[in-house]
Each structure stands twice: as structure tokens, then as C-alpha cells.
DNA sequence: AAGCTTATAGAACATTTTGTTGCATAGTTG
DNA sequence: CAACTATGCAACAAAATGTTCTATAAGCTT
């Protein structure tokens, strides 16, 4: 029988990674150690070392397992402005009020040197871009979009600015700001005649 | 006499922090320890402990001392498109080819939990925004700007996207992309009649 | 130049973190 | 039931981290 299928092994792994993530979120990556996870779960240190011979493996597994942004269901009812308000409002909330806001910076730093973390976070962003794309495609089918709307760039701008404000510039992410952001995006997206 | 003015103390401090930064850049923050700096410089471990009783202090000092983005002299000759190309080209190069591209992610992560790192990186970004502002003001005085150009938002977008592409999305930062980015920014910035 | 002060080097020591191993026990599989 | 394998525990090893003391040398004061 393969180790990885033994229910005891699976159970230990899940328990440990849940605790590791909890520690990661409430303290920091560095607080995740075999000792701290052992204390949190009751799993013995030696067992944890058998699962993850080195701390970095434990930390990375914890990060990759649960550290992902909340799923944002694309809303494509229209009009575009309302859809953007919905999507970016949720993104804003994710950064302000969920673990993701605290975990993202750590992942970004890890991604700078670790391939797994890099492909994970790149994947998250690709998902987010795809969701946004479906919003713009729906707008196009409703005929709201300007024919020369630079959709790719708009999506990048829509998503990048909230991340940058929160993680790099240290500026507030609130609806006052979001309204202006969306207004600017719509200037480039909507066809001149369309109702705003 | 105050300790902090003794030339020996200053010399040791500078030597140590230079080495710490070198290690930080070539390996990672975690590689910066009293032991590694001692090995690199010949300064004794006990002396380093007197300067920085705890590793985190040493790491943070190394980071805050030299980890700053290259200064980008604002260019305001005009036309706006050329100025933006200059400024954002340099920002791109800073992210692609200088230590800053490797260090920024670490700083962002540290800023999430540390006030000093946070205010440092927020300060860097405020500087960058101010530089960009002078570019747009010059454009306005030349009469290039549309009267309703949303300058604040444009500056945020101009800067955020390169950072996001590089650090989060893992997309390439090259002139092919930059041309499109600037073209979109100019659509919103320039007055309708202005030569492009 | 003489004397006081302070930083450094070096070594010895203490503590904590990190990783390893062997064995008894108990859950899992066939 | 029999064979296998994960776990818990305890003892141990090694490395990283932090502390303290003393002799020496550099800097400052008069």
C-alpha cells in the first residue's frame, strides 16, 4: 500500500496543514515550524518531520494548500459599470477583509525565489483576468463596448491598481476611490454614445 | 562622547550593512545573520550582536538602508508620450535589471507586518507618484492635457501595472507591452485635438 | 604625551531551534 | 489473524542564536 493513501497519513497531513495555515495567517510564515504545528495539533514533532523533513517544505505546503484568493464569481448581467462595481468591490473586500490580504504579500515574496509559489500566484492572477474578460465579453455582446476598447489593458489596470494601493502604496481601498477608478475605466471601455 | 558618533562604530556599521545588503541581494533575507555577515566582513560576531541584538533588527536595517528603488529623474521636456516612455522605461528597467526587482517583493512582505518597512515603501511610492505628477503638470502647461484628464488615476495606473505584471502576474515587462500601455494612458490624458 | 573612555576581537558558555533515530503501540490492509 | 506502516515518545545530535568576560587597540580630552 502506498503511504500517501493511508488514511492516517492523510488525516495527519490535513490536520497539520490546517493548523500551519492558521498560524501562518495569525502570525507569519516564520511562525510556522514543526514545533508550533505540533503544539497546535497535538501531532508529535517526529511525525511532522517524517511528513516534511525541512521547515521550508512545511511552510510552502501550507501556503500552497490554502492560501488562495477568495473565488469571485463573475457577474455579467450588465451594464458594464455595475458589473465592474461588483467584481472590483469583491476584490477590494478580499484584500481588505479576508486572509488573502495578509497572505498575498508573503506569497509574492516567496514567488520571487520559488517556482511553485510563483506558478501558484501567477495562476491565481490568470484566473482573475479570465473572470474579468468574461465581464467585458458580455458587455461587448450587449453592444456597450467601444469598438477600439483596449480590453487587455483595461483588465490589467482594473486589477493592478487595487493590489498596488493596498500592498505597495499603503493607500486606502474604499468605495470613494473605487467609484473614480471605475469611472476612468469606463471612459475607455464604453462606446461614446452608450448610456453611462 | 556618544557611541553613535565614534568613527569605529560608524565604520563597523557601514561595513556590516553593506555586506548584509550584498547577502540579502544575492541570497535572501533569511541568509542575513550575524554569522554570515561576520564571515563576509571579518567583524566579530560579538561586535555585531552589540550593534544589533536580534537578527530581525539586522535584517531590517540592511533592508531600509540600501533597499530603495533607483532614483528616476523626472523628464518633462514633452511631449507627454515621450516623457512617459522615458519614465516608465526606467521603471521597467529598475524592475527588470536592478536589485530593486528582487528586493521589492521582500519589502512588500515585510511591510505587511512591520511599520518601518511599511512607511519606507509607502514613501518610495509617494516619491514616484510625485515625479509622475510633475510630468503631467508640465504637459498641462504645454496645453497637451485634456481638461478633464483624471491625472491621479492615470498616475496610479501607469505605475501599478508594471509592478503587478512583474511581481504578481509573472508577465513580461518589455517595450512591446509598454507601448500599448502608454498609448492607452494617452488616450485619457491628451486633449482630443492634440497631436499624438 | 598621558590618561580616560569606548569599541573591538576572541573565546567560552548558555539557550533555542532544528533535525534524527530507535522502539513500543496502535491503526490499516489482505 | 498476520504483515505492514504511521504514530507517539524519549533520547540524542547538530546548528543557529544569543550572552558574557577579558585583553587589546583606537579615539578623545587635557
C-alpha angle B93-B94-B97 in degrees, rounded to nearest 5: 70
Q: What is the mean pLDDT of residues B133-138?
A: 96
User: Would the Cβ of B181 be found within 7 angstroms of any atom in strand C?
Assistant: no
Q: Quick check: A35 contacting B, CB < 8 Å?
A: no
Exposure class string for A89-107: b at 16+ Cβ within 10 A, else e: ebbbebbeeebbbbbbbbb
Taking a C-beta distance cutoff of 8 angstroms, is the pair B166, B96 a contact? yes
* Domain segments of chain B as ranges: 3-66, 80-189
Q: Which residues contact A122 (CB under 8 A, 6 or more apart)?
A: A111, B168, B169, B170
Taking a C-beta distance cutoff of 8 angstroms, is the pair A23, A63 a contact? no
At B27, the pLDDT band (50, 70, 90 cuts) reads confident
- In chain B, % of residues over pLDDT 70: 93
User: What is the average pLDDT score of chain B?
Assistant: 91
Neighbour tally for A193: CB within 10 Å: 6
pLDDT given for residue B194 in this prediction: 54
User: Would the Cβ of B49 be found within 7 angstroms of any atom in strand C?
Assistant: no
Q: Assign 3-state DSSP to chain A and report helix, strand, coil percentages, each to 5.
A: 75, 0, 25
Count, residues in chain B: 196
Q: Per DSSP, what are the bridge partners of residue B190?
A: B145
Q: Is the pLDDT of residue B161 over 70?
A: yes
Q: Which of A182, A183, A184, A161 lies closest to A172, judged by CA?
A: A161
Q: In the CATH scheme, what architecture does the domain A80-189 have? A: Orthogonal Bundle (1.10)
Task: Specify the 3-state DSSP secondary structure of A82.
Answer: helix
Q: In the CATH scheme, what architecture does the domain B3-66 have? A: Orthogonal Bundle (1.10)
Residue A135 preceded by cis peptide, ω within 30: no
pLDDT given for residue B39 in this prediction: 94
Q: Per DSSP, what are the bridge partners of residue B145?
A: B190
* Nearest chain A Cα distance for residue B147, angstroms: 14
What does the CA dihedral A62, A35, B31, B162 come to, rounded to 10 degrees? 20
Which 10-39 positions of A have CB less than 7 A from strand C?
33-35
**Burial class of residue A20, CB neighbours in 10 A (0-12, 13-18, 19+):** buried
Out of A32-46, B114-128, B131-145, pick the least confident.
Answer: B114-128
pLDDT given for residue A113 in this prediction: 84
User: Would the Cβ of B53 be found within 7 angstroms of any atom in strand D?
Assistant: yes
- Measure the CA–CA gap between B137 and B142, rounded to whole angstroms: 9
pLDDT given for residue A1 in this prediction: 46
Cell of A157: 489596470
User: Could you state, in chain order, the average pLDDT of each consecutive group of 10 residues for chain A (196 residues)?
Assistant: 77 95 89 96 96 93 75 82 96 93 90 89 93 95 94 97 96 97 96 64
Taking a C-beta distance cutoff of 8 angstroms, is the pair A146, A189 a contact? yes
Q: Quick check: B105 contacting A, CB < 8 Å?
A: yes
Q: Quick check: B126 contacting A, CB < 8 Å?
A: yes
Residues of A in contact with B112 (CB under 8 A): 102, 105-106, 167
Cross-chain Cβ contact B150/A125 below 8 Å: no
DSSP state of B67: -
pLDDT given for residue B1 in this prediction: 46
- Measure the CA–CA gap between A77 and A139, rounded to whole angstroms: 9
Amino acid at each position: 500500500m502506498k503511504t500517501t493513501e493511508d488514511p492516517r497519513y492523510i488525516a495527519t497531513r490535513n490536520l497539520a496543514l490546517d493548523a500551519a495555515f492558521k498560524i501562518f495567517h495569525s502570525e507569519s510564515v516564520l511562525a510556522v515550524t514543526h514545533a508550533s504545528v505540533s503544539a497546535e495539533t497535538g501531532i508529535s514533532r517526529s511525525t511532522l518531520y517524517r511528513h516534511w523533513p525541512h521547515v521550508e517544505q512545511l511552510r510552502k505546503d501550507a501556503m500552497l494548500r490554502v492560501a488562495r484568493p477568495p473565488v469571485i464569481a463573475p457577474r455579467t448581467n450588465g451594464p458594464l459599470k455595475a458589473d465592474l462595481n461588483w467584481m472590483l468591490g469583491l476584490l477590494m473586500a478580499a484584500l481588505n477583509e479576508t486572509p488573502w490580504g495578509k497572505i498575498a504579500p508573503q506569497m509574492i515574496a516567496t514567488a520571487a525565489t520559488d517556482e511553485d509559489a510563483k506558478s501558484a500566484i501567477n495562476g491565481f492572477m490568470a484566473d482573475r483576468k479570465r473572470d474579468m474578460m468574461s465581464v467585458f465579453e458580455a458587455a461587448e455582446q450587449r453592444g456597450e463596448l467601444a469598438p477600439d476598447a483596449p480590453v487587455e489593458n483595461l483588465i490589467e489596470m482594473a486589477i493592478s491598481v487595487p493590489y498596488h494601493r493596498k500592498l505597495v502604496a499603503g493607500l486606502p481601498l474604499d468605495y470613494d476611490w473605487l467609484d473614480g477608478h471605475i469611472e476612468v475605466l469606463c471612459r475607455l471601455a464604453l462606446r461614446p454614445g452608450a448610456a453611462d
